[in-house]
Amino acid sequence: MDKVYSHKDVEERIYKEWENSGYFKPEINPQGKPYSIILPPPNANGALHFGHAMFAIEDILVRFHRMKGEAALWLPGTDHAGIETQFVFEKRLKNQGKSRLDFDRETLYKMIEEYVNEHRGGIESQLRTLGFSLDWSRAKYTLDPDIVKLVHKTFKKMYDDGLVYRDYRLVNYCTFDGTSFSDLEIVHEERISPLYYIKYGPLVLATTRPETKFGDTGVAVHPQDKRYQKYIGRQIEIETVLGKAKIKVIGDESVDQKFGTGVVKITPAHDFNDFEVAKRHNLPLKQVIGFDGKMNRFAGKFEGLYVRQARKAVVEEMQKKGLIEKIDENYKNRIGVCYKCKNVLQPLPLEQWFVKVKPLSQKAIQAVKDGKIKITPSNFEKQYFLWLENLRDWNISRQIVWGIQIPAWKCQKSEIRSGKSEPKPSELRTPISDNGHWTVTDGAKPKKCLQCDSANLEQDQDTLDTWFSSSQWPFAALRASPYNGDFEKFYPTSVMETGYDLLKAWVSRMVMMGIYVTGKVPFNNVLFHGLVNDPYGKKMSKSKGNVVNPLELVEQYGADAVRFALIYGNATGNDQALSYPKLDAARKFTNKLWNMGRFIEMKNVSSSKYQVVSIEELKKKAKHKNDKAMIEKVSELIGKVTNDLDKYNFNYAAEGLYDFVWHEFADKYIEDIKNRINPDSYIILNTLYLILLKLLHPFMPFVTEEIYQRLKFGKSIMVETWPK
């Protein structure tokens, strides 16, 4: 053995050995009880980041349970990441001077597919460099045909059960990216938006969006408001920038008498609250902003202006006409912006598919309350409950091509109008559910409309929200496994380990969908890890330019050291700042461990090389009091590390091992035994050292394996059993 441990000569070679030997498959312990973890599938098009490096926790668990003799499965996969990927691709198009609008749906899809396929495999090889013992023979991708089929099946089942429905309602729509989003994908920003006090005939009302006034179909006051009661139910005549008009005054409880003047304009097509009010009072919906972000013909001479331009023009015009009483320039409000492009989202009316969440969320809440799912750290339970309890129906339609196209066909005969076309004045309607004929299947094109037998059907152009498919990942990946019986054997999975930032978007939805489709929870434990920030504690982000690539650290320090540094000194679920001193300490630890092995190799005094016996035999063999004491201490350590791992206290385990291996075993015991080495004490030293290697193996798989093989303890430490 060399004086210094060199990870570069070791890691890649050992990983190949492991993989080729089939050690990552649960079949190596055919009699063992099942233990399973589904890897949170990284973006197929993405690169490794620290969120992925934290999956070291999963590797620790899997290696630990595998050594305990369990049939441990860690199933890898990749996600098509619909919006993320399409947006990245569109940026590339833009750099080439092209736009997605230059291509038809099929061509665009194929182009993105090719682009992703070029990059797929990249993320997988990166996961290998971290030493992750994933069973690659079971790897799945969210767009694998068998996965897509399962997702279609779920959609149909939900449709048949009334849990997926088509509705015409307001959605948050990004007119720059051309798609709607779910509630969760909206970023709220506080901005200063002037509050305009506008004269509406005899009334004055306050609004931040004067440009939407062309879509007003009512004016609301609080029913108990003494100031305005006399107007309720009456039509009032108002002067507008487009001339005189009449508008109805209604009384609605949602109006806050204290805000502004206590009068609200009702613009059902462009405000979520107004939409609800309009429903209650049967007011028509009048869309004045198009999906291109421009004012439409209802805006008269303002047609064709973008919202922001229109606001300016309308306000100027109103001021000329004396229709503005005052402007509060310092009014702050929170506004929804696109999480991708940061542009202001428009609430726009659109026909979309929604998931009725209440029946699903109730069961998901109950599963945690009943202890069928345990969340660690437990404080995340509160967030889980809070979110699920206040959940609104989930918009799953996305106007992008990269994803799973929705298996629903619209009968063209029954078509009233497409949600994307501009409404004609004669089509002004109250906000009611879409009443076109839809035929939903589990993927195959239907021959005719189920309601009117027409054969003129067209598939919905939209795709499913990526989270709709990824929320089915645990059971879908197992059901689509190339190995028969995987689902029955490994579902529910043992642990779902992921960053806490995915609690809402993913974890809670997996629980809902898992219970709905399979009748069982998708996993028995949820384990959250924290975020890795930059060395100054600031969140890593591309825009800040402070992103550190974990692969560079692996190159420099070795995968073992990177893994150990991320685990050591970091309580489960807490954020951490990337620490170079800690990385250095971890690297030195691998070197220390290596040199302990080197010492054993050099001091070989035994005739039978590196002989190892059981700890029971060892206890009988030991005569020297220091040997006896050390055997006792190692026994205690085994219990402590096992217990810490069972309780997900990875940092305790790592710290305990580090401290013991270095400062007890090396500093004291090896120093002591140096002076009295003989065949008996040598066997004791070997045996205890091997135990320590095994205990460390889940944390630092490469160096422990390399030492193990160098000292010829056996073929591979991966098939050793966990010490007792």
Partner RNA sequence: GGGCUCAUAGCUCAGUUGGUUAGAGCGUUACAUUGACAUUGUAAAGGUCAGAGGUUCGACUCCUCUUGGGCCCACCA
Q: Is 110 in the site for RNA (CB under 7 A)?
A: no
Report in angstroms how near the CB of residue 270 gets to RNA at its nearest. 9
Q: Is 83 in the site for RNA (CB under 7 A)?
A: no
Q: List binders of RNA among 166-225 (CB under 7 A).
A: 183-184, 186-188, 190, 206-209
* Cβ-contact 658, 589 below 8 angstroms: yes
Q: Is 387 in the site for RNA (CB under 7 A)?
A: yes
What letter would DSSP give residue 137? G
Which residue lies nearer to RNA by CB, 135 or 216? 216
For the chain, give the number of residues.
724
Of 20, 330, 390, 675, the one binding RNA by CB under 7 A: 390
Q: Is 256 in the site for RNA (CB under 7 A)?
A: yes
Q: Phi and psi (nearest 5°) for 336? A: -85, 125
Of 66, 166, 311, 504, the one binding RNA by CB under 7 A: 504
**CA nearest neighbour of 163 among 393, 450, 506:** 393
CA atoms within 13 A on the CB side of 411: 18
Piece in contact with RNA (CB under 7 A), picked from 13-21, 84-92, 251-259, 457-465: 251-259
562 to 601: interface string for RNA, x by CB under 7 A: -------xxx--xxxx-x-xx-xx--x--xx--xx-xx--
Q: Is 668 in the site for RNA (CB under 7 A)?
A: yes
Q: Is 259 in the site for RNA (CB under 7 A)?
A: yes
Which residue lies nearer to RNA by CB, 34 or 268? 268
Please list, in sequence order, all residues whose beta carbon lies within 8 angstroms of the beta carbon of residue 704, skipping any fewer than 6 positions away: 593, 693, 694, 696, 697, 717
Number of H helices, E strands in the chain: 24, 27
Q: Is 435 in the site for RNA (CB under 7 A)?
A: no
Residue 433: helix, strand or coil by DSSP? coil
Of 454, 651, 709, 716, the one binding RNA by CB under 7 A: 651
3-state secondary structure 620-674: HHCCCHHHHHHHHHHHHHHHHHHHHHHCCCHHHHHHHHHHHHHHHHHHHHHHHHH
Report in angstroms how near the CB of residue 362 gets to RNA at its nearest. 18
Q: List binders of RNA among 264-323 (CB under 7 A).
A: 264-265, 271-273, 276
Q: Is 341 in the site for RNA (CB under 7 A)?
A: no
Report in angstroms how near the CB of residue 465 gets to RNA at its nearest. 14
Q: Phi and psi (nearest 5°) for 128? A: -65, -35
Going by DSSP bridges, is the β-strand pair 374-376/523-529 parallel, antiparallel, or unpaired?
parallel
Report in angstroms how near the CB of residue 134 gets to RNA at its nearest. 27
Report in angstroms how near the CB of residue 126 gets to RNA at its nearest. 25
Which residue lies nearer to RNA by CB, 392 or 676? 392
Sign for the CA dihedral angle at 589, 593, 595, 599 comes to positive
Q: Is 356 in the site for RNA (CB under 7 A)?
A: no
Report in angstroms how near the CB of residue 375 gets to RNA at its nearest. 12
Residue 443: helix, strand or coil by DSSP? coil
Q: List binders of RNA among 462-501 (CB under 7 A).
A: 501
What is the secondary structure of 488-538 as a DSSP string? HHH-SEEEEEEEGGGIIIIIIHHHHHHHHHHSS-SEEEEEEE--EE-TTSP
* Cβ-contact 206, 260 below 8 angstroms: yes
Of 160, 292, 617, 659, the one binding RNA by CB under 7 A: 659
Q: Is 649 in the site for RNA (CB under 7 A)?
A: yes
Please list, in sequence order, all residues whose beta carbon lies within 8 angstroms of the beta carbon of residue 51, skipping any fewer than 6 positions away: 499, 531, 532
Q: Is 546 in the site for RNA (CB under 7 A)?
A: no
Q: List binders of RNA among 446-465 (CB under 7 A).
A: none
